[in-house]
A and B are shown apart, each in its own frame.
Chain A
């Protein structure tokens, strides 16, 4: 059996999928032409940003997490924001069924932040560990930028592998937060910490 991996045009795909406007696309093509490196900071965060809201399709929150039947899915960026305005443009108009996806930036995370997906960038005001601790036990899908072994990681922690953006999933933490990460997403994870794990 032969396998055909279509890795050549990743940047283009990402650009299309994230619906970047023309200048950004042009910039990306230039970058691609120059380096063809997926790990290039802005491209990396474009991909991570796109993933951020796409996780919504593969996660189930308890009904209580949404005030109304068609309440918005709040994607929060806490502290440092590596995505920039491109993410605002990418999220604009995205929906999860009847729910709109709304991007919010907050400085400090609390139990009442009303976030469903929370990218914890960490800042002087609130460390990553503190932000994670603040929302522990509430239905929030926490996402951290770089997986650190033994460190403060969210339910989903991005990682770079073979020049690709991958992620680890802490399903146990998801269980503690009362949210369900669906199997297709678990199947894509680089590593999964199962629910029964210590």
Chain B
């Protein structure tokens, strides 16, 4: 983080550094131009001076012996240098001895007046004495055109252009840096915000988990309360029956009567019912040993149709469509209990009467269907129990499988029926699914894995027929 902060500070400093750099570049460009200009002038000056010296040495004899024709020849030879605009040789009195000038240039003066070389109006006036035997016998004059200012500016324009472009580039980079810096800062802030949000989310999740734990705990307590209530009530009823019968039995025995069999039977029945209740509780806690065997669900349902009709009463009609032919492996008694349970639940959901459809079929699950998301693909036997009852709202549906959850009044249901059924089906490697719509009814679907090894299909069919 500190590293980033340091980098950030560096970024922040960059624009001013870049600006300084750009200004520096411009100054350097100007300095370079000025320096080049001076160098150029000095070089031109030297070049012309050398030419003047050569000319002076060449024309010495011509000046001494007053031969302006020869001097003229030497001067004419200089005309090949395009920079030279005019040239002249003056005698020791300063009078023009010989000279030439280009057509469009000023002719050299008739007398030499200047003493020293000079630069004037873009022209270099070079004077060089003609020395003979240590004595000045005349002066050589050269007038050279230095490049015009426009030409030189044009020549330096490239340099300046480069400098300006470099400066611009630096400026653009600097502005880009600044933008990037801002963007970075914004990003960093966003990241921090995100981290903060994440922290809050985590805290909320934790709180929610705590709340859920608490809720679960309270639900458990409620369930235990319901269980205790239900079980106590049931047992109390049974105990009342047993106690009553035993009291009657005792009175009869004191009276010495022997017609006591029905009291004993009643007490025994109460005990049996208590035993069944215990059995169910054990099944719920999954401590009940199961004795699985190959079962054909169609046949199972067919065999218990009479029982189902008695259980649901006259107001409710039962319709069966039993197409399943495959076998499955389960405890048939428990399966009967499950089906009976579902039928009774269906009946209870239809207080005004209705219809219960019981269907069995064989299905092959190739792909996980939406309704059975977590189911392995394979062959299954399906059993569904559908009613045309009141259906369940969402919150009830969500808790339908919970143990001890019941919508029935106290004493009528233990809240264990569906829960025990679910436990048993899962124990038998099957699946149980509930679909419900308020006002239309509920469908409970059970999928049991096909028991392929049991009996060959042909034999199965034979047996079935």
CB pair A1–B66 under 8 Å, yes or no, is: no
Q: Say whether A3 faces chain B, with CB atoms less than 8 Å apart.
A: yes
Residue ID in chain A nearest B70 by CB atoms? A188
Residue ID in chain B nearest A16 by CB atoms? B93
Q: How far is the CA of A182 from the CA of B133 in the complex (A)?
A: 14
| Known contacts A1-B79, A97-B133; is-contact A9 B98 (Cβ 8 Å) | no
B325 surroundings in chain A (CB, below 8 A) = none
CB pair A4–B108 under 8 Å, yes or no, is: yes
Shortest Cβ distance from residue A49 to the other chain B in the assembled complex, whole angstroms: 13
Q: Say whether B327 faces chain A, with CB atoms less than 8 Å apart.
A: no
Shortest Cβ distance from residue B421 to the other chain A in the assembled complex, whole angstroms: 129
Q: For chain B residues 187-233, which have a beta carbon within 8 Å of chain A?
A: none
Q: How far is the CA of A7 from the CA of B95 in the complex (A)?
A: 10
Among the listed stretches B55-63, B161-169, B289-297, B427-435, which one makes contact with chain A, having 4 or more residues with CB under 8 Å of it? B55-63
CB pair B72–A13 under 8 Å, yes or no, is: no
Contact with B along A1-12 (1 / 0, CB 8 A): 111111111101
* Interface size bracket, A side: 20 to 34
Contact with A along B102-120 (1 / 0, CB 8 A): 1100011010000000000
CB pair B132–A57 under 8 Å, yes or no, is: yes
CB pair A13–B93 under 8 Å, yes or no, is: yes
Q: Say whether A72 faces chain B, with CB atoms less than 8 Å apart.
A: no
Interface size on B, residues (CB 8 A): 36
CB pair B97–A6 under 8 Å, yes or no, is: yes
Q: For chain B residues 116-147, which have a beta carbon within 8 Å of chain A?
A: 132-134, 137
Most chain B Cβ neighbours within 10 Å, of A6, A96, A164, A185: A6
Residue ID in chain B nearest A55 by CB atoms? B65
| Known contacts A95-B133, A97-B133; is-contact A5 B61 (Cβ 8 Å) | no
CB pair A6–B91 under 8 Å, yes or no, is: yes
A164 surroundings in chain B (CB, below 8 A) = 66
CB pair A6–B96 under 8 Å, yes or no, is: yes
Q: Say whether A184 faces chain B, with CB atoms less than 8 Å apart.
A: yes
Residue ID in chain B nearest A95 by CB atoms? B133
Q: For chain B residues 46-88, which have a beta carbon within 8 Å of chain A?
A: 58, 60-62, 64-70, 72, 75-76, 79, 88
Most chain A Cβ neighbours within 10 Å, of B64, B92, B100: B64
Among candidates B67, B92, B100, residue contacting A2 with C-beta atoms closer than 8 Å: B100
Among candidates B65, B96, B102, B108, residue contacting A188 with C-beta atoms closer than 8 Å: B65
Contact with B along A179-195 (1 / 0, CB 8 A): 00010110110000000
Most chain A Cβ neighbours within 10 Å, of B61, B62, B98: B61
Q: Say whether B266 faces chain A, with CB atoms less than 8 Å apart.
A: no
Residue ID in chain B nearest A58 by CB atoms? B61
Shortest Cβ distance from residue A51 to the other chain B in the assembled complex, whole angstroms: 6
Q: How far is the CA of A1 from the CA of B70 in the complex (A)?
A: 16
CB pair A184–B60 under 8 Å, yes or no, is: yes
Q: Say whether A174 faces chain B, with CB atoms less than 8 Å apart.
A: no
CB pair A7–B68 under 8 Å, yes or no, is: yes
Q: Say whether A14 faces chain B, with CB atoms less than 8 Å apart.
A: yes
Q: For chain A residues 155-173, which have a beta carbon within 8 Å of chain B?
A: 164-167
B15 surroundings in chain A (CB, below 8 A) = none
| Known contacts A5-B68, A6-B68; is-contact A188 B62 (Cβ 8 Å) | yes
Contact with A along B160-193 (1 / 0, CB 8 A): 0000000000000000000000000000000000
Q: How far is the CA of A1 from the CA of B96 in the complex (A)?
A: 16
Q: How far is the CA of A58 from the CA of B70 in the complex (A)?
A: 16
| Known contacts A5-B72, A97-B133; is-contact A13 B65 (Cβ 8 Å) | no
Contact with A along B14-54 (1 / 0, CB 8 A): 00000000000000000000000000000000000000000
CB pair A13–B91 under 8 Å, yes or no, is: yes
Residue ID in chain B nearest A1 by CB atoms? B100
| Known contacts A3-B99, A6-B95, A6-B97; is-contact A14 B66 (Cβ 8 Å) | yes
B62 surroundings in chain A (CB, below 8 A) = 184, 187-188
Q: Say whether A80 faces chain B, with CB atoms less than 8 Å apart.
A: no
CB pair A57–B133 under 8 Å, yes or no, is: yes
Shortest Cβ distance from residue A186 to the other chain B in the assembled complex, whole angstroms: 9
Q: Say whether B341 faces chain A, with CB atoms less than 8 Å apart.
A: no
Q: Say whether A90 faces chain B, with CB atoms less than 8 Å apart.
A: no
A51 surroundings in chain B (CB, below 8 A) = 65
Shortest Cβ distance from residue B70 to the other chain A in the assembled complex, whole angstroms: 5
A8 surroundings in chain B (CB, below 8 A) = 95
Q: How far is the CA of A12 from the CA of B374 in the complex (A)?
A: 132
CB pair A57–B64 under 8 Å, yes or no, is: yes
Q: Say whether B445 faces chain A, with CB atoms less than 8 Å apart.
A: no
CB pair A3–B98 under 8 Å, yes or no, is: yes
Q: Say whether A54 faces chain B, with CB atoms less than 8 Å apart.
A: yes
Among candidates A1, A165, A166, residue contacting B101 with C-beta atoms closer than 8 Å: A1
Q: How far is the CA of A161 from the CA of B134 in the complex (A)?
A: 30
Residue ID in chain B nearest A184 by CB atoms? B61
B134 surroundings in chain A (CB, below 8 A) = 95, 97
User: Lowest 5 CB-CB distances: which A-B pairs, in order?
Assistant: A184-B61, A4-B99, A6-B96, A6-B97, A1-B100
- Chain B interface (Cβ within 8 Å of chain A)? 58, 60-62, 64-70, 72, 75-76, 79, 88, 90-93, 95-103, 107-108, 110, 132-134, 137
| Contacts A/B (CB < 8 Å), 27 sampled | A1-B100, A2-B100, A2-B101, A2-B107, A3-B76, A3-B99, A3-B100, A4-B96, A4-B98, A4-B99, A4-B100, A4-B108, A5-B97, A5-B98, A9-B95, A10-B66, A12-B93, A13-B91, A14-B66, A16-B92, A51-B65, A58-B61, A95-B134, A96-B133, A182-B61, A185-B65, A187-B70
